[in-house]
Structures are given as C-alpha cells and as structure tokens.
Amino acid sequence: MFYQHRFDRNTPVEDVAGTIADLIKEGKVLHWGMCEVSAETIRKAHAVCPLTAIQSEYHLMHREVEKNGVLDVCRELGIGFVPYSPMNRGFLGGDLNEYTEFDPHNDNRTTLPRFTPEAMRDNYRIVNVLQRFGRERGMTAAQLALGWLLQKEPWIVPIPGTTKLSHLEENLRTLDFTLSAEEWKQLEDAVAAIPVTGDRYNAEQQKQVGF
C-alpha cells in the first residue's frame, strides 16, 4: 500500500496517478492511496489509476468527510476509507487533560490548537459523555471512539496508534461489543451537541489539506 501524503499542488494529480500506474505495471507498488484530498481530486486520480484507500482525519470530534463528499465518493467508487487519529490523537481515550505536558521535541500535539490547555479543558466534556455512556455498557471511552467509526461502514477501517500493549488489547476488544444503531446515534448526538474548542490544525498545517 503506497500513499501520497500530502497532495502536491505543483504536480497535476493525473501525473501522480499515471506514475503510480507505471510503478504498478513494474510490480513495485501493489495498491495506492491518497491522504486529505477532496472528492474532486479522488475522482480525477481514480479515473487514471484506481485508488484502494483514502486516509483522512475522521473521528467523533472531526466529521468533515461526512459533509465534503469524500465518504460519498469512496462509497460510489468502491474505495476504502482509513480514518487516521481515530481517537483524536488520544484525546478521546480520556488520558489527556489540561495538565498534560507533551514533549516539545517529539510530539506534534504541541502545535495543534485543539491541544492547548484551554481547549482540552473545554473539550473534556466530550470525554465525559463517552465515559458516562461507556459505564452503562462496560466499555471504555477509547472503545466507544473506535466502535463508532467501525459501525459506520464495513469499508471504513480506523488506524489507532499506541505505545502500550494494554491499550492495543483494549482497542482490539472493541470488536467484542455490539451496540444497536439507536445507541450509536444517541452517543453521536450527545457528542455533536457539544461545541469543539480549537481548530484541528494551525494555519500552516491547514494549507496542506483539502485539495
């Protein structure tokens, strides 16, 4: 699986797709994908060389791909969708709060407006909703964040990150739970009712997405 992370504004997407098609013919690449691109770009690229997956940010606190046509075009063209940072970079797991100190040399969350102490204090209300909802069902906040994505579509496959075996096991156990469509909707609505404080990216990072 070979991804283009991020879109290159100086190279037509048809040229990128054509180059990947050559690499596939040579046997050097099996499948390809793109990251944080628009529905229009996906269409143009797919017409030249069929895409296997699109990887973009998607989780309970960032649902842009539901509105900007990206999920629709993936559904229509049969392209898989890979939500990255499915727990909002760990925030939805509940271990991070306004007192968390990130390593300034090795953690890009220090550059993200949504990870200032003020934003995390406001947004912790969302974690509280997940924890409350999970308490009644024996699920953790992380499992609810992942389960919400998994129940959306069989072709939506989140990629959670962790440095801990215990978290990996907890996250995998998400698959042991079955909630009804009504329960997922109830959770989704409860989270959506809380405004999110802080942009997901700063201005510079934002310039690189959405083409």
Ligand X SMILES: NC(=O)c1ccc[n+]([C@@H]2O[C@H](COP(=O)([O-])OP(=O)(O)OC[C@H]3O[C@@H](n4cnc5c(N)ncnc54)[C@H](OP(=O)(O)O)[C@@H]3O)[C@@H](O)[C@H]2O)c1
Binding site for ligand X (CB under 6 A): 5, 35, 55, 84-90, 93, 95, 142, 159-164, 167, 170-171
Query: Smallest distance, Å, CB 147 to ligand X?
Result: 12
Query: Smallest distance, Å, CB 140 to ligand X?
Result: 6
- Pick 26 or 119: Cβ nearer ligand X: 119
- Pick 182 or 191: Cβ nearer ligand X: 191
Residues 45 and 73: beta-carbon distance below 8 Å:
no
- Pick 19 or 208: Cβ nearer ligand X: 208
Query: Smallest distance, Å, CB 95 to ligand X?
Result: 5
CB closest to ligand X, residue no: 93
- Pick 25 or 105: Cβ nearer ligand X: 105
Query: Smallest distance, Å, CB 65 to ligand X?
Result: 13
